[in-house]
Amino acid sequence: MSRLDNLDEMSTQQVGTGSFGFTATNLDVLGATEYTLVGLAVDASSSVYEFESDLNSAIGAIVESCVHSPRCDNLMLRLSQFSSNLQEIHGFKMLSSCNPGDYNGILDVRGATALNDAVVDMCDSMSNYGSSLTKQDFDVNGILFVVTDGDENNSSHGLESAKKAIQDIRRNESLESLITILLGVNIDSTYVKQKLDDYHQQIGFDQFISVGDASPKTLAKLAEFVSKSISSQSQALGTGGPSQAIPTSLGI
């Protein structure tokens, strides 16, 4: 089990490709009829060391905001970190069961950037769990965030595998709709920004947003952006499509 999972309510799930596994809340303990799955994959490579504390705070702020959302009982969050390899911090867990204070110092920063692996892992887990929910007559949609300060340099999966993972989850109807957002943080290099913009288009992300610093103010804005996007997508559940009210910038 992962670091913040509830052993009584969650179990390990296997992904069809066999590449990764994940944990998720057991269906028999779910009390609502509809859910928005939130996938948050955060870069924990050594280059985020200087703003690690503020990045941890941003994760806690996202959870804090969602915990107080009117849709809290309809949100499930899976949090992973990626560096030279992947680590699930916790599986798909009810936001009402999340304690924002648990995310202090949660990232284990070191190594390189396995960006493709992070995309494949999160897409596969959302597709797999979404399919399980749909088969049991739950209404379910999703929103995926990948937060990074650099380009891919250490994955076992290639670019085409990451692209296919996003295509597959859109095609297999495991989710009513899916929004995918790539967030570049502390991107002061024009070269890196262009590489990530190219990556977002090649892979098929819906949005790419890049910010030039990782100050506490900027990361607070990032947390606000993420929480507003989650809320908008959750409110769109049942409409048959993705939210049309997702923010287009961090507002800075």
For 157-205, the DSSP string reads S-HHHHHHHHHHHHHS-SSS-EEEEEEE-S---HHHHHHHHHHHHHHT-
Average pLDDT over residues 160-170: 95
Confidence of residue 208 (pLDDT cuts 50, 70, 90): very high
pLDDT at residue 13, as a whole number: 80
pLDDT at residue 252, as a whole number: 73
pLDDT at residue 134, as a whole number: 96
pLDDT at residue 9, as a whole number: 84
pLDDT at residue 98, as a whole number: 92
Q: 12: phi > 0 → left, psi -120 to 50 → alpha, else beta; which?
A: beta
pLDDT per residue as tens digits for the range 49-96: 999 999 999 999 999 999 999 999 999 999 999 999 999 999 999 998
Average pLDDT over residues 16-31: 82
pLDDT per residue as tens digits for the range 105-126: 999 999 999 999 999 999 999 9
- Looking at the domain 39-235, which fold is it? Rossmann fold (3.40.50)
* pLDDT beyond 80 at 160: yes
pLDDT at residue 11, as a whole number: 87
Compute and round to an integer the Cα radius of gyration of the chain. Answer: 16
pLDDT at residue 15, as a whole number: 66
Under 8 Å between Cβ of 42 and 83: no
Average pLDDT over residues 181-186: 96
Burial class (CB in 10 A: 0-12, 13-18, 19+), 14: exposed
Check: pTM over 0.85? Answer yes or no. Answer: yes
Domain ranges (residues) in the chain: 39-235
Question: How far apart are alpha carbons 166 and 170 in whole angstroms?
Answer: 6
pLDDT-above-70 percentage for the chain: 95
pLDDT at residue 7, as a whole number: 63
